[in-house]
Each structure stands twice: as C-alpha cells, then as structure tokens.
C-alpha cells in the first residue's frame, strides 16, 4: 500500500533526514531513491515553504502532528508542485518518539483551477466596478448576492457589502420595490430577458434609467437568480422630450401661421376702418365705443402675434443689446398694480446678448404674470441674472457649448404639481379657467429660436423657478439714430397691391387722409404693369405698398426684383399678416425699403411713410 497509493509519503528521523520515500513521491519530484535517501526532506521545498515548514516543527513536536498545510515542492528539473501536507510523530516499540511520517497530496491542478477562478472573479469584479451604470446579481428570492459600487452609492451606501442579503424592499420606496420585484418574477418564471425604461430613485433624485434584466442558470439550465444592468438615460430622455416639444410646436406652427395670416388680413379691414372712424367722429359716445372696439382688436392682434411667434415664420428680429435695464422695466410694467413685489440681483458686468426685445419681453411678461397669478395674496418675485459658461459636460443637452446669460425668476407661489409639470410647455395645455395655453408654449418656442433653453423647477406649496438661457455675444451695441422730423404736408401717388379688396379700400382711405393718391392693384403683375404705365405717362410714383404673398399669383417677394430693375431707388414697402417672416424681419436684405405688419393703424402707416421722408 505504501508504494501503490497516489499520495506522496516519506519517513524521516527527528532531524528531518529522509529514511524512506514511496514511489509516488519519487515519480512526482523526479528523483531516484539513491539520490534522496539521507538528505534533508526540507531540501525539496521552495525557500518560502522551508521557512513555513521549520515553523511547523514546533507544533509537530508539541502536539505530535499537523495537517492540511499548503506548501510548494520543487522537482528535480525545477518545476513547482503545490502540495497539501501533514506530518505525524511515530514512536518506537518503547513508546519513544523516533520518526516523522509525512503525507502530501499533489494539488497543483486544483491550485491552477483556483487561481483561474480567482483571476476570473478578479476580472469580473473589475468589469462590474468599472461599469458606468448600476450592476447587480440576485438569487431566486430576489436577495442581492453582489452589486457594484455605483449601485451601492445610488442607494446611499458606500460599501457594496452592506447590500448583500437584502431585497429591494430594504432599499427602495415600496412602490418602486414592488415594480422591481414584478420584473424579477417575470424573468424567474418565464426566462426571457426584460428591457425597460424606468424611473429610479438615485442619490435622492428621480432619474431615468434603461434597465436590462436577464436570468442566471445553473449547469442544468435551471433558473437560480437574476442579474441586471441599468444606465442613466436622463439626458437622453430630456433631449427626446425637448425635441418632441419642438416638433409639436413646429407642426402646430404650420397651422397657426396660416390661421394668423388670414386672421390678420380680416382684422386689417376691421381695424383700419374703425381706426379711421374713431379719428373722424366728433361724437364723444361714438368715440368711446370705437376706442373700446380698437382695444378688443388689439387683444386679438396680440393673440395672432403669439400664434406667429412659434409658427414657421416666427424668426426673431435679433439685435445686440443689454438686458439691463430692459429686464427691470419689463418686470415692473408687468407687475404694475399688483400685490407682488420684486427683488433684482443683476450684476453690472452682465454680458450683452443678441435677442429680439419684443419676443424676450413677451417671455418675461408671461413668466411674471404666471408668478403673479401663483401669489394671489401677494409675495416676492426674485429676479436674477448671471454670466454662465456652458461646456459639453454641463448636462444641458439642448445647448451648444459657449457663453450664456442665465435669467431666473423665483416666486413664493403655490408651485406646480409633479404630475403636470412635464406638460406646462405643451401648446394649449392650461389649468386656468380662462387660459388659452399659449403663454408658456410661446415662451418655449421663443427661447428655442434664440438658441437658448427654458426650464422650470417647482415644489408644490413653496414656489417655482423659471430660468432661461440666452447666448451671450462679444459684439458691441450699435448707436440708435434719431428719427427724421415729420413732414407737415404730404402728397404723391402710392401704388397699393393686395388681393383683399377690404385691405385695398382701408389702406386707400388712410393714404388719402394723409394727402396721397392711392392706385390699386390686386397682384404683383398688375403692380409692375401699373408702375410702367405711370412712368410712361410721365407720372412720379412716391412709393409702393405690396402684400408679401398672393395665393395663386405674384406676391411682393417675387415682384420686388422686377420693380428694382425698373426703379432701383423707389421706396417699396412690404406688408403682411406674417409679422415674423424673415422678409418682414429684414426687409432691406430682400430689396424692400421697409415693412409694416397687418393689421396696422393709421398712425403706424403714417409713421412708416414719414420716417422715410415721404
């Protein structure tokens, strides 16, 4: 048995000299009996194991034996052999300790497997810990077996070991834990992987995560647990939501632009004739009624202006300007007569911005009015502005990297419920009994068209903060030129082109009231032919007023090139219900002298002509 056992065995005297070795010992270490007998048994161990073996001799001498000690032996050709060894003192016939019997088991293969498993575990740990997302492994009872540090931190813990053995109910709010358990059971019961987008309470914040859950199976294919990975997609969801809002506004804008244009044409005749009647009447009662009618129409003009602002024609007319004292003046005007006080924190070194004063004024008006309505019993509105540098890592997915001015409005109002805050920028969404739902949607569109972004934070019962970002500029403000003095007396021939008869009639009467002679045409072709006829007849044309677009015909935008080829210096004005069309915003760039938005009043037409010395 001594020589047939697979275990390495050797016998030494009490000084460690080899007296006998079995065949397995010789075969494993590659020696012959003659080479080793009489030598020290420790000579066949590595230096480290020799030190360990000498320390074990005292235990052997005291207790008579030791067992299960891992050492490393060295073969004749220098290879290392991992062994699990034990030794026992043997007594002679007189009962006196005389020999040491040592047995060793070759565990080299086992150690290789163990080392491979350790390496695999080390690699797996490194992979898990270096994942940017949350990683976890659960058993069949949904108890955590392992998690990475990112997962632990999302639960408010620094050490992943704190979560081992716990369930979701020990970590998350009950509703969230129940939802996660439902997902786990779906995987455990049926086997397919689950891929969901869900809100996770991460570091005391609700964030959107994309979560993958998959079953863990044993060698027999039985499901014994689940593993999962979740990564933060909050920025992506915000970008998708912002894009969705933009697309909704653009779709609505196509409809809104057309409605506003047609509505403005209709208002043009009504507004103009009432305006003329109000100027001509001498009866006080009639004058007051006409004035009230004009005020009502002005409200309608404001509504169509809001519709046009987020229509496809709503390009802002931007100029380099300072936000101070523009912000103060706009806020104070909006709050005039209310019970709300305001507090400003606006630094003197605030950067200049490129913006449309009318449109940004509309944004401020809407935000301030909402704050006022949120504080019916009065309160404070805090307005601040700061210079802000946005980098690619700032977390604002809808903003390009660069310099911005951030303007914030914080009220002490009732706040916005969490269930509706994501919808407040939707067109026509309102919680107000008489609201139209266009205010904040318009604000969103305006800021978007200024290459900025608008956001809101709110806590019900404590108040809301609206803030928007405007791109800053290093350009300088241009000096404003004084308007030319008004002429006392006017005369001349003005060609009016519009496809709506009511518009031609009202503009004609306004011109005649100013002293001009109006010549009417219905489209661009007629206007061009009339200009040629008048010039051939030796008549001087003082100006032309052309409708921007003519359905099924030549509009002002198409006709201007031919008119300029006839008379490059003739004052030609463009009129349209598309108040924010690019041609209306920059008429000089398209060959026009100036622009006027429908519906316009007698005085607005007068100012346009007088300001051009006509």
Q: DSSP readout, 88-146? A: EEEE-TTS-EEEEEEEEEE-HHHHHHHHHHHHHHHHHHHHHHT-SSEEEEEETT--EEE
Q: What is the pLDDT of residues 368-383, one digit of tens each?
A: 999 999 999 999 999 9
CA separation for the pair 50, 71 (Å, rounded): 9
Strands (DSSP E) contained in 272-393 are 319-321, 340-345, 352-355, 379-390
Q: For strand 463-473 and strand 493-497, is the pairing parallel, antiparallel, or unpaired?
A: unpaired
- pLDDT-derived band at 239 (thresholds 50, 70, 90) equals confident
- Residue 49 gets which letter from DSSP? H
pLDDT value of position 154: 83
The CATH H-level superfamily of 8-108 is PAS domain (3.30.450.20)
The larger pLDDT score, comparing residue 292 to residue 34, is at 34
| Fold exhibited by the domain 493-611 | Rossmann fold (3.40.50)
Q: What is the pLDDT of residues 341-364, one digit of tens each?
A: 999 999 999 999 999 887 898 899
- pLDDT-derived band at 20 (thresholds 50, 70, 90) equals very high
Q: Which run of H or of E encompasses 237?
A: helix 234-280
Q: What is the pLDDT of residues 584-608, one digit of tens each?
A: 888 999 999 999 988 888 999 999 9
Residue 127: count other Cβ atoms within 10 Å of its Cβ: 11
pLDDT value of position 309: 60
Phi and psi based region of residue 583 (left: phi greater than 0; alpha: psi -120 to 50; beta: remaining): alpha
- With 0-12 / 13-18 / 19 or more C-beta atoms within 10 angstroms meaning exposed / middle / buried, residue 571 is buried
Nearest CA to 611 among 482, 493, 483? 483
Output the average pLDDT for the chain. 86
Q: What is the pLDDT of residues 204-235, one digit of tens each?
A: 667 888 888 899 998 888 899 999 888 888 88
Cα 613 to the center of its chain, rounded Å: 51
CA separation for the pair 308, 302 (Å, rounded): 10
Nearest CA to 293 among 314, 308, 271, 313? 271
Q: Kindly list the domain boundaries of the chain, sorted by start residue.
A: 8-108, 131-232, 319-473, 493-611
Q: What contacts 333, CB < 8 A, 6 or more positions away? A: none
- pLDDT-derived band at 483 (thresholds 50, 70, 90) equals very low
Q: For the whole model, what pTM was predicted?
A: 0.45
- Establish whether domains 8-108 and 131-232 are of one fold: yes
Indicate the class that CATH gives domain 131-232: alpha beta
CA separation for the pair 447, 435 (Å, rounded): 21
Q: Are 378 and 335 in contact (CB under 8 A)?
A: no
Q: What is the pLDDT of residues 491-546, one digit of tens each?
A: 999 999 999 999 999 999 999 999 999 999 999 999 999 999 999 999 999 999 99
Cα–Cα distances in angstroms (integers) from residue 373 to residues 327, 432, 592, in the given order: 19, 10, 43
CATH code reported for the domain at 319-473: 3.30.565.10
Q: What contacts 508, CB < 8 A, 6 or more positions away? A: 496, 518, 520
């Amino acid at each position: 048995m001594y020589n047939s056992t697979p275990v390495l065995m050797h016998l030494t005297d009490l000084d460690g000299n080899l007296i006998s070795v079995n065949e397995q010992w010789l075969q494993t270490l590659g020696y012959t009996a003659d080479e080793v007998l009489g030598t020290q048994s420790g000579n066949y161990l590595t230096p480290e194991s020799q030190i360990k073996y000498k320390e074990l001799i005292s235990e052997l001498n005291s207790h008579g034996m030791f067992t299960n000690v891992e050492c490393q032996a060295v073969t004749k050709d220098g290879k290392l052999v991992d062994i699990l060894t034990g030794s026992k003192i043997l007594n002679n016939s007189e009962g006196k300790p005389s020999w040491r019997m040592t047995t060793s088991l070759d565990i080299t293969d086992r150690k290789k497997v163990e080392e491979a498993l350790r390496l695999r575990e080390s690699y797996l740990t490194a992979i898990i810990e270096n994942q940017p997302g949350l990683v976890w492994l659960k058993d069949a009872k949904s108890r955590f077996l392992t998690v990475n540090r990112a997962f632990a931190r999302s639960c408010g813990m620094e050490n992943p070991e704190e979560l081992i053995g716990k369930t979701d109910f020990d970590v998350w709010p009950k509703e969230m834990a129940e939802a996660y358990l439902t997902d786990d059971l779906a995987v455990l019961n049926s086997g397919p992987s689950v891929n969901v987008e869900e809100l996770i309470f991460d570091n005391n914040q609700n964030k959107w995560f994309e979560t993958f859950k998959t079953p863990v199976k044993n060698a027999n294919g039985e499901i014994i647990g689940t593993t999962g990975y979740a990564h933060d997609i909050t920025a992506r969801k915000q970008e998708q939501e912002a894009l969705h809002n933009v697309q909704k506004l653009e779709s609505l804008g196509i409809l809104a632009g057309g409605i506003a244009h047609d509505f403005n044409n209709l208002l043009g005749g009504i507004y103009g004739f009432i305006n003329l009647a109000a100027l001509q009447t001498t009866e006080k009662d009639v004058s007051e009624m006409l004035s009230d009618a004009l005020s009502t129409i002005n409200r309608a003009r404001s509504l169509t202006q809001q519709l046009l602002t987020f229509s496809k024609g709503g390009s802002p007319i931007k100029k380099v300007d300072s936000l101070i004292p523009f912000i103060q003046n706009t806020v104070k005007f909006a709050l005039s007569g209310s019970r709300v006080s305001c507090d400003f924190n606006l630094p003197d070194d605030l950067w200049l911005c490129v913006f449309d004063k009318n449109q940004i004024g509309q944004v401020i008006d809407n935000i301030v009015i909402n704050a006022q309505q949120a504080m019916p019993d009065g309160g404070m509105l805090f307005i601040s502005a700061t210079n802000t540098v946005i980098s690619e890592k700032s977390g604002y997915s809808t903003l390009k990297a660069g310099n911005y001015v951030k303007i914030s409005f914080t009220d002490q109002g009732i706040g916005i419920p969490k269930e509706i805050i994501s919808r407040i920028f939707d067109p026509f969404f309102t919680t107000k009994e008489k609201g139209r739902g266009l205010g904040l949607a318009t604000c969103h569109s305006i800021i978007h068209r200024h290459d900025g972004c608008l956001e809101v934070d709110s806590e019900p019962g404590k108040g809301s903060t609206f803030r928007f970002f405007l791109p800053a500029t290093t350009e300088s403000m241009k000096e404003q030129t004084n308007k030319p003095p008004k002429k006392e007396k006017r005369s001349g021939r003005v060609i009016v082109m519009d496809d709506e008869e009511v518009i031609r009639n009202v503009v004609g009467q306004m011109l005649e009231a100013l002293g001009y002679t109006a010549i009417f045409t219905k489209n661009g072709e007629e206007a061009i032919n009339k200009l040629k006829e008048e010039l051939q007849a030796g008549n001087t044309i003082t100006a032309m007023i052309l409708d921007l677009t003519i359905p099924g015909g030549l509009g002002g935008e198409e006709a201007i090139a031919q008119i300029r080829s006839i008379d490059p210096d003739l004052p030609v004005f463009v009129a349209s219900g598309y108040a924010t069309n690019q041609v209306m915003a920059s008429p000089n760039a398209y060959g026009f002298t100036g622009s006027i938005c429908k519906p316009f009043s007698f005085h607005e037409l007068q100012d346009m002509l007088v300001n051009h010395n006509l």
